[in-house]
Amino acid sequence: MITLLRNSITAILLTLLLANNAVAERLSATVDRSTVAENETFTLTVKYEDGSSKSAPDFTPISSNFDILGNNQSSQYMNNNGRITNFIQWTLTLAPKQPGKALIPPLSIGKTQSRPITMTVTKAQDVPRSAKVVFMETDISTQEVYVQEEFAVTIKLFFKENITDVKAADFAVKGASIEELPRAQYQTSIGHSNYQVIELRFAVTPESSGQLHIPSYLWNIRTSNAPSNRFGMGSGRSTLHRLKTEEFNVTVKPRPPEYPAAASWLPAKSLTLSEAWSDNPPRFTVGEPVTRSITITARGLTGEQLPPITANLTSNDFKFYPDQPEITSDTDAQGKLGARKESMAIVPTRAGELTLPAIEVTWWDTQRDQLQNATLPAKTVTVAPATAKPEQSLSAVLPTSQLQPQAQTGEATIVYKTQAGYWPWLCGALVILNLIQLGLWLKHLQQRTNNQETKTATAQPNLSLKAVIQAAKSNDAAACRQAIAKWCRHQTDSTNNAREFFTRNGGSKALLNAIDELDAHLYQAASNSWNGGDIASALQGWKATQSSSSTSPLPALYPA
């Protein structure tokens, strides 16, 4: 009887203990306010009390209506007179994606759930520009372009407080290639307020005809009302601003019907042809090479878009031996600038007044919207005969004794014996020397071809990351940012966002922090100095890590 009573009491106590634990475990979610404007943020606090699980709730469902800008976790453990309590707390900074009613769905840990929360999101209040601490303007250079014609998208960021942090999506347009142009930074006055302005410009080149949509992008910008100290940091009140760029639709036209079907499509703002000779003026002799260099330069195109200049050059009077082309692509404040230089050895095959054929490149003038031809006109040149010794008379070559007739024997017969002397040997030597010279010239031409291919395949990419490190060591923030973005675009990831690239490709925490500091500096006042030593060291460390861990049998397209 006593044993049965003892077992019953134990079962009752165990049941009460389990029930107490089940009641104690709780997951709650609260917000600091239930009504916000679409350009404001609010705080969501999620608290897990007296639970055994160490995992966090899945916050992914929140992302359908809100952007998660921050997530901080804290925990606490207390023993109050033998009563043990503990909790884990997550504090999220949220921003609504659009006006209207927005739901924060129930969150769960195991079988424990929080209650849903309904938020009211109002439209942002329209405030005059001069009253804003920070704002943005977006502009495009044209509403209508041809396929593969470059146009510019400009984003201007105006601010009158120090910017301490910027988070923005990588600028991209589906169906178009993007090239970031050099940034500009200056000051302007609006009303009675002075603003710093950072101007970002992008060259956009549509790849096909039709409608091209340039989407709106969200920027999260944090400003401080305190002046920056000598380390570029402010200590005053920090404010988060959510700004959006404007969206645009651009009409992309196909190549016009009057453009020659067989010609390469070249829509450019300007295009020129120029030439240079190894000798000025050039002097032509039969069998001797003269070097001619022809350069095509186009505003609004890359060097890779420019066609071969001399591929179809033919003549019955000249032989042409082309070298490997030199192709360059660059950007400036006006956009892309491409060039293609082709050098060739020209060897005349006969003497006289001969004509080099004209060279013509067809292109489309996007400024005047009409067909154009860039031409190097045909050139008439005088070609001298091959260099040789003058012929000597027979009496000068032959000995006098051999010119005397033999004795008469019925019929008078005169026999001439000629002695060739040294002339056959001299002619043979000249022929051998010419063959040796031709062989050496062909070998030199092959070496130049191999060297050019090697430089094209390896030298330029190696210089690219070196340019980033050199700009960082020179403490040139703008040049460093432009160089690292250009290098990232030529990797297999093909992205302008350096932080995103190095996150995916083994970048250290020090490197990612250095990139964040570089971006933050570029949005501060121009008077702040920047030390690029950290990012230079981090890039060199990443480069060494990649070199030691690489096992690919094929070299990278643009190695570090």
Q: 379-384 and 284-285 as β-strands: parallel, antiparallel, unpaired?
A: parallel
- pLDDT per residue over 465-483, tens digit each? 888 888 888 888 888 888 8
The CA distance from 323 to 342, in Å, is 7
Smallest CA-to-CA distance from 363 within 264, 258, 254 is with 264
- pLDDT per residue over 420-444, tens digit each? 555 566 667 777 877 888 878 777 7
Q: Is 462 helix (H, G, I), strand (E, B) or coil?
A: helix
What SS3 string covers 540-555? HHHHHHHHHHCCCCCC
Average pLDDT, the chain: 80
The CA distance from 260 to 354, in Å, is 30
- pLDDT per residue over 24-60, tens digit each? 578 899 998 889 888 778 899 998 887 777 788 999 9
CA 92 from centroid of its chain's CA atoms: 35
If you ran DSSP here, which 8-state letter would residue 177 be given? E
Provide mean pLDDT across the span 148-156. Answer: 96
- CB of 277 within 8 A of CB of 313? no
φ, ψ of residue 500 to 5 degrees: the values are -60, -40
The tokens for 410 are 């019925």
- pLDDT per residue over 488-501, tens digit each? 777 755 566 777 78
- Locus of tokens 């060494």: 544
The CA distance from 140 to 246, in Å, is 10
The tokens for 183 are 């940034």
- Confidence at residue 294, expressed as pLDDT on a 0 to 100 scale: 96
Count of Cβ atoms closer than 10 Å to residue 212 Cβ:
21
The tokens for 441 are 């010239």
Residue 440 CB-density burial (10 A; 0-12 exposed, 13-18 middle, 19+ buried): exposed
Q: Is 475 helix (H, G, I), strand (E, B) or coil?
A: coil
Maximum Cα–Cα distance for the chain, whole Å? 173
Q: How confident is the model at residue 16 (pLDDT cuts 50, 70, 90)?
A: very low
The CA distance from 93 to 41, in Å, is 7
Q: Which helix (H) or strand (E) holds 134?
A: strand 134-140
Q: How confident is the model at residue 373 (pLDDT cuts 50, 70, 90)?
A: very high
